[in-house]
Amino acid sequence: MLQQKEISKILYRGLDAIDSNQPISISLLSHNGNPLITLTKDKESDDGNINFKILSLLTFQIFNNNQSEDQQDWNIINFKNHDIKSIIKKVENLEYFVILFYEFDNDGFAKLKIDSVVNALNEGFKGYKADET
């Protein structure tokens, strides 16, 4: 079972840049959308008014409202008023979600990043069963 420090390290790797594409923030959410861990990359151009915990909750709510049985386990949401996007993906076999926030146009890079983080979390959580309460 992963400890919080190990989970934070895995999440922080999701903030590494690919070329000039730098993610801004990443969060691990509980089954009901509460942010458990939120990490933000320091940038000179950051808008201090962006509250990633609020945007995480909005992303989670939009994702859940749009869920259907045949829908994929991930989605991209565009927050045009903040000029950022979020990508959310469910951690396999658990009731956790990972959300990555980014400003770049290439959604493929964001998908690669979140897949990498979720795969690492899936490996670390193998054998762990989420509490159904």
Q: Residue 23's closest CA among 95, 98, 122, 91?
A: 98
Distance in angstroms (rounded) separating the CA atoms of residues 24 and 40: 6
- The answer to whether the beta carbons of residues 100 and 114 sit under 8 Å apart is yes
Of the chain, the percentage scoring pLDDT greater than 70 comes to 85
pLDDT-based confidence at residue 133 (cuts at 50, 70, 90): very low
pLDDT digits (tens, 9 = 90+) for 94-106: 789 999 999 888 8
Domains and CATH numbers, the chain: 4-124 (3.30.450.30)
Distance in angstroms (rounded) separating the CA atoms of residues 14 and 41: 10
pLDDT digits (tens, 9 = 90+) for 84-130: 999 999 998 678 999 999 988 889 999 999 999 999 998 888 766 55
Q: What is the mean pLDDT of the chain?
A: 84
